[in-house]
A and B are shown apart, each in its own frame.
Chain A
Amino acid sequence: MMSKSNSSVRRAVQCALLSLAIFLFSGASDPSTRFKEIGHQLMCICSCGQILLECNHVGCPASDGMRNELLAAVTRGDSDSLVQQAFVQKYGPTVLAAPTNRGFDRTAWIFPFVAFAVGFVAVVLVVRAWKNRPTAAAAGGPPVAGADLDRFRRQADQETEL
């Protein structure tokens, strides 16, 4: 039998997830917001290399038509993926402004995060290894003078940055 505290924790987690979902997806159904969002995920195909809604060059043969198609699809209530599929079918995969999350394209998204994880772990391991290196024994012996003293002065100067 589930204890009362476990149930409360589960309810709190559900509440947090729901809040997050509301935060992430709020406004998604508003047509003008969707037009703007999807329009920024598509490229103009006139080879200007610009995002569809940012293409502005004089006499562009493509962007006006593409914007109208997008507006019509959003007004019809087509889902985001349906709109994107329709554009890909008509204009080819380069119409999408970023790689999809399918097939080989997925590696485009995975690589940066894998690189981050590997790099982070590597730096943590390096820091730990350097931290655990044995320290040289403190020198006793005669008073420091002459060249050694100059060297220590320089080192202190260099490392203290006063």
Chain B
Amino acid sequence: MAFLGNFALLLALALSVYSFGAGLLALLSPDDPKSQRLSETARRAGVVIFGGVLLASLALVISAFRDDFSIAYIFHHSNRDLPLPYKFATLWSGQEGSLLFWSLLLGGYGFVLRLRYKTDPRLFAYASIVLAAVQIFFLALVNFAANPFGLLEGPLRPDGSGLNPLLQYPEMVIHPPMLYLGYVGFTVPFAFALGALIMKYPGEKWIHITRRWTMVTWGFLTCGIFLGSHWAYSVLGWGGYWGWDPVENASLMPWLVGTAFLHSVMMQEKRGMLKVWNMWLVFACFWLAILGTFLTRSGIISSVHAFAQSSIGDWFAWFLGITFAVFVFFFLKNKEHLRSENKLEGMISRESSFLFNNLLFLLLTLDVLWGTWFPKISELVQGNKVTVGAPFYNRVAIPVALVLLLLTALGPLLAWRKTSFESLKRNFTWPTVAAAVVALFVMFTPASWGSIFGLRPWHDVSYFYSLMTIFLSALVAFTVASEFYRGGRVISEKSGQGMFASMVQLTHRNTRRYGGYVVHFGVVLVMIGFSGSALNQDKEAELGYGDHMQIGSYDLVCRSYTQDDNANQETEWALMDVYQNGKLLRTMTPQRIFYKASQQASTKPDIDQGFKEDLYLVYEGQNDKGQPVIKAHLNPMVIWIWIGAWVMIIGTGLALVEPAPAPVTVRVAKMIEQAAPVAGD
């Protein structure tokens, strides 16, 4: 298998080099009659790269299934008793395998792109070359610097070291692929953007193509980030879902820039503005995704999630430098081609709201980048490292995020070109009043109604932020609802359909716009989930048989504690009966698992999720008497984060659906037709 895998990797590298070289030659001599055939062979070679990398990946997975511990990577990341799904996940569980997986996904994206070349053969040829260049880098890495098929030195071992215990969780089988689909996917918009820049692509078609690819990629990255958060919450047992770790930040940065691009791209599509800006945003998405990979793998910044320190950091540093230089070179060479009109008719307009929206997204990205690198900068400047943790990000990022939320509410109510103050006041008044009512209700309702109520901002600054989040989230929700209502009402009046059917039709006619609103609504739910964190409670106790502990309105009773043993792991757990108002609600079983192969222990919290709050129990260990030490967290509103993430994914899918033809277009066209002769009179 190692031989087959190595052969497939070399073949894929050779094909990438050919696809790049032949494609480049063909584009450099467009008048040569042979160039078209050469270009076609380059495209076909590009398609076959995927086959080569797929074969190599299958060889690695089969090696894991066959417990082939002669391969060092399999020895270090698997063992005989590892359940089958986790053996499959071995592919992306370590440094070398995950780089192979990256190549596989890039090959997959390239495969799809090269099959769809008829959309615009010349642009796709340029994009294909850029993709091939990136593919060469990753395949060179797995062939020469981080080979997953390297053989284990010394005698053959009977069993492997096992998979990291924290990765032995169902979500970890899908979280990395989603995240990687997001990271790798940003290569495709970058390839189109650089291709369009090099060839001085006429018109805006490239931006339409790029936007769709970016949306798909953004959807995957969103999914990956939230799956990662959910994994952290469900497995790590510290009761939180986001720790501002450098590796988490690495995934957030391209996501933020991608979000900025998905907004500013509308300016280019509708008004022909921000062409230079959009070009840079697409590049930044790609570059930050690679930078994130560099951070994770170079060991330059310490993180609990990072892969082992290795020499491949240098490879990534060079690659980052080269891509930056290539992009800047072509930008400076062809920037005149990106000249746009950039005329604003009103200060209060959709255009200016998008500019501020982009500013805030970029500021958030810059803050996260700054916080991630500051320990290293501090070490270089003053010789000692400092920690930049949650308190820094919370203080710096939360105010920006709140202003962004305000813009999310305001933006949809602003018209393109110009909005009158009166119109803004008319559309904005009732959502503001309704949101204020919601905020006041949350503030003055007694806390006994639920953990989120009784948020008095004068008690704590974090309560103030939470209350502001709730107010602004409600404002966004009401403006989104008013947009659906107003559009639906117009269709309902014209067609005589019911309101719901009209709103469905409205969404179908402009899937992108209303899909975007659904994404905004998802963001609202996520923000409401975040706002609950100000009211988190926790308590720790050593519990013998029948001992009680109280948290919030729950009375926890330790009914029993015991242990179990199988080939892969030893498990200790407590049986905790949960009572509320004297009534038994359920029994929970927080666990501690000791994995035999890796000789590592891990906790497995038990979480009782509810719409108001989560009861989260962690088995922290045993005291001297052998009794369990239980930590209980009460986390309000967390479930809304996961529901909101689903809504965001659904909204993204909706925005990607082809819209139905709108009969209203005919009316506008007729109006222009009728007006045209008059203008000439």
Which A residues are within 8 Å of any B CB, using their own CB?
22-24, 26-27, 40-41, 43, 47-51, 54-59, 92-100, 103-105, 108-109, 111-112, 115-116, 119-120, 122-123, 126-128, 130-131, 133, 135, 141-145, 149, 152-153, 156-162
Is B38 an interface residue when CB atoms closer than 8 A count as contact? no
Interface residues of B in 381-423 (CB under 8 A from A): 381-382, 384-392, 395-396, 400, 416-417
Docked CA distance A100–B389 (Å): 12
The answer to whether A127 and B355 have CB atoms under 8 Å apart is yes
The answer to whether A98 and B362 have CB atoms under 8 Å apart is no
B121 to A: closest C-beta gap in Å: 24
B533 to A: closest C-beta gap in Å: 12
- Contacts A55-B238, A112-B396, A159-B416; is A96 near B665 (CB within 8 Å)? no
Docked CA distance A112–B398 (Å): 12
- Contacts A96-B386, A116-B400, A141-B680; is A159 near B664 (CB within 8 Å)? no
Return chain B residues, CB-CB under 8 Å to A162.
662, 664-665, 667-668
Return chain B residues, CB-CB under 8 Å to A40.
390-391
Segment of B292-300, B454-462, B466-474 engaged in the interface with chain A: B454-462
B417 to A: closest C-beta gap in Å: 7
Q: Which residue of B lies closest to A24 (CB)?
A: B461
The answer to whether A156 and B603 have CB atoms under 8 Å apart is no
- Pick from B271, B363, B679: contact of A159, CB under 8 Å: B271
The answer to whether B346 and A131 have CB atoms under 8 Å apart is yes
- Pick from A112, A131, A149: contact of B676, CB under 8 Å: A149
B134 to A: closest C-beta gap in Å: 30
Docked CA distance A92–B459 (Å): 33
24 contacts between A and B (CB under 8 A): A24-B461, A43-B387, A48-B304, A49-B304, A54-B239, A56-B238, A56-B239, A93-B384, A93-B386, A99-B374, A104-B378, A108-B370, A111-B370, A115-B367, A116-B400, A120-B359, A130-B342, A130-B344, A131-B345, A144-B676, A153-B669, A159-B271, A162-B662, A162-B667
Q: Which residue of A lies closest to B273 (CB)?
A: A130
- Pick from B303, B389, B601, B673: contact of A98, CB under 8 Å: B389
Return chain A residues, CB-CB under 8 Å to B382.
103-104
Query: Known contacts A112-B366, A145-B676; can you find 18 more A-B pairs with CB under 8 A?
Result: A23-B458, A27-B460, A43-B387, A56-B237, A56-B620, A99-B378, A112-B363, A115-B366, A115-B367, A116-B400, A127-B347, A130-B343, A141-B680, A143-B677, A143-B679, A153-B669, A159-B271, A162-B662
The answer to whether B270 and A159 have CB atoms under 8 Å apart is yes
Is B672 an interface residue when CB atoms closer than 8 A count as contact? yes
Interface residues of B in 611-666 (CB under 8 A from A): 618, 620-621, 631, 662, 664-665
The answer to whether B359 and A59 have CB atoms under 8 Å apart is no
B392 to A: closest C-beta gap in Å: 4
**Top 10 A-B pairs, shortest CB-CB distance:** A143-B680, A97-B389, A130-B344, A98-B392, A98-B391, A49-B304, A144-B676, A131-B344, A162-B664, A112-B396
The answer to whether B359 and A123 have CB atoms under 8 Å apart is yes
Q: Which residue of B lies closest to A49 (CB)?
A: B304
- Contacts A27-B459, A51-B390, A97-B391; is A58 near B378 (CB within 8 Å)? no
- Contacts A56-B603, A115-B363; is A43 near B389 (CB within 8 Å)? yes
Is B240 an interface residue when CB atoms closer than 8 A count as contact? yes
Return chain B residues, CB-CB under 8 Å to A96.
386-387
- Contacts A112-B367, A112-B370, A162-B662; is A94 near B359 (CB within 8 Å)? no
Docked CA distance A152–B668 (Å): 11
Q: Which residue of A lies closest to B385 (CB)?
A: A94
Is B77 an interface residue when CB atoms closer than 8 A count as contact? no
Return chain B residues, CB-CB under 8 Å to A144.
676, 679-680
The answer to whether A54 and B240 have CB atoms under 8 Å apart is yes
Is B587 an interface residue when CB atoms closer than 8 A count as contact? no
Q: Which residue of B lies closest to A45 (CB)?
A: B387
Return chain A residues, CB-CB under 8 Å to B345.
131, 135
Is B510 an interface residue when CB atoms closer than 8 A count as contact? yes
Q: Which residue of A lies closest to B342 (CB)?
A: A130
- One digit per residue, 1 when the CB lies within 8 angstroms of any chain A CB and 0 when it does not, for chain B 269-286 equals 111000000000000000
Return chain A residues, CB-CB under 8 Å to B239.
54, 56
The answer to whether B363 and A116 have CB atoms under 8 Å apart is yes
Is B371 an interface residue when CB atoms closer than 8 A count as contact? yes
The answer to whether A152 and B386 have CB atoms under 8 Å apart is no
Docked CA distance A160–B487 (Å): 13
Q: Which residue of B lies closest to A138 (CB)?
A: B679
Docked CA distance A157–B362 (Å): 31
The answer to whether B387 and A98 have CB atoms under 8 Å apart is yes
Is B3 an interface residue when CB atoms closer than 8 A count as contact? no
Docked CA distance A127–B270 (Å): 17
Return chain A residues, CB-CB under 8 Å to B459.
26-27
- Pick from A92, A133, A149, A152: contact of B343, CB under 8 Å: A133
Q: Which residue of A lies closest to B355 (CB)?
A: A123
Q: Which residue of B lies closest to A43 (CB)?
A: B387
Docked CA distance A161–B457 (Å): 41
Docked CA distance A46–B458 (Å): 36
Docked CA distance A119–B359 (Å): 6
The answer to whether B458 and A26 have CB atoms under 8 Å apart is yes
- Pick from B302, B343, B356, B392: contact of A108, CB under 8 Å: B392
The answer to whether B363 and A119 have CB atoms under 8 Å apart is yes
The answer to whether A56 and B618 have CB atoms under 8 Å apart is yes
The answer to whether A58 and B601 have CB atoms under 8 Å apart is yes
Q: Which residue of A lies closest to B239 (CB)?
A: A54
B114 to A: closest C-beta gap in Å: 30
The answer to whether B370 and A98 have CB atoms under 8 Å apart is no
Docked CA distance A158–B669 (Å): 12
- One digit per residue, 1 when the CB lies within 8 angstroms of any chain A CB and 0 when it does not, for chain B 191-221 equals 0000000000000000000000000000000
Docked CA distance A144–B671 (Å): 13
Return chain B residues, CB-CB under 8 Å to A152.
672, 676
Is B43 an interface residue when CB atoms closer than 8 A count as contact? no
The answer to whether B665 and A157 have CB atoms under 8 Å apart is yes
Is B321 an interface residue when CB atoms closer than 8 A count as contact? no
B30 to A: closest C-beta gap in Å: 28
A157 to B: closest C-beta gap in Å: 6
Is B592 an interface residue when CB atoms closer than 8 A count as contact? yes
Is B432 an interface residue when CB atoms closer than 8 A count as contact? no
The answer to whether B620 and A58 have CB atoms under 8 Å apart is yes
Return chain A residues, CB-CB under 8 Å to B367.
112, 115
The answer to whether A49 and B238 have CB atoms under 8 Å apart is no
Is B245 an interface residue when CB atoms closer than 8 A count as contact? yes
A113 to B: closest C-beta gap in Å: 8
B263 to A: closest C-beta gap in Å: 14
Return chain A residues, CB-CB under 8 Å to B601.
58-59
Docked CA distance A143–B381 (Å): 68
Is B187 an interface residue when CB atoms closer than 8 A count as contact? no
The answer to whether B374 and A108 have CB atoms under 8 Å apart is yes
- Pick from A94, A128, A156, A158: contact of B386, CB under 8 Å: A94
Docked CA distance A132–B170 (Å): 57
B639 to A: closest C-beta gap in Å: 20
B483 to A: closest C-beta gap in Å: 11
Docked CA distance A144–B513 (Å): 30
Return chain A residues, CB-CB under 8 Å to B569.
none
Q: Which residue of A lies closest to B396 (CB)?
A: A112
Docked CA distance A126–B510 (Å): 30
- One digit per residue, 1 when the CB lies within 8 angstroms of any chain A CB and 0 when it does not, for chain B 367-383 equals 10011001000100110
A153 to B: closest C-beta gap in Å: 5
B166 to A: closest C-beta gap in Å: 10
A47 to B: closest C-beta gap in Å: 8
